[in-house]
Structure 1
Amino acid sequence: MYPRPIPDDARIQRALYLGGVALVVILWLLPLLAVMLTSIRSNEELMAGNYWGWPQKFSLIENYKAVFEQTAMLRFFLNSLLITIPSVIGVLI
């Protein structure tokens, strides 16, 4: 059921395994990096098509301030808590 351990004398096999793990981790974290970079960019930079480059101007506070002022984000968080907390308590009981 569980994968067999890689023998110590199989260096190539271990290197391929670790390389594969590193590749999967990078691919897994790439969307998170995209979200973080996008959240600190100004609208002008996003409209110019600068998606993966380093931001020219950091707009982190302005962007998050706009999200909380122009949307019902706090209500969305509350709704998530109202669903998650009883669900977790129900599973634990």
Structure 2
Amino acid sequence: MKGDALDPKALIAEAYRIDGITIEECRSIFLDWALSLPEGSGAGAALGPLLARHGVPGHPMTRVLTEGLTAPVTARRRGGRAARRG
């Protein structure tokens, strides 16, 4: 299946077609989706349109996309002395 700019490999679309998919499987698919985005494109900007296109209440992938949309971005790299001194 061919995707588009929001879902290059059509991973999100396919997740909604899988009967009995679990939240853990959806999180794994979400990670693969995020890694497949073109360099420089933000995942956050794509989540809203993906939810509007595919979002089905009660589906595990809807929950994962919603969590990704509402989760604060707190990741930061700490290297060298700062990483060792906690």
TM-score range normalised by the length of the shorter chain: under 0.3
Choose between structure 1 and 2: higher helix proportion.
1
- TM-score, normalization: structure 2? 0.22
Higher relative CO (CA 8 A, sep ≥ 6), structure 1 or 2?
2
Structure whose CA Rg is larger: 1
- TM-score, normalization: structure 1? 0.21
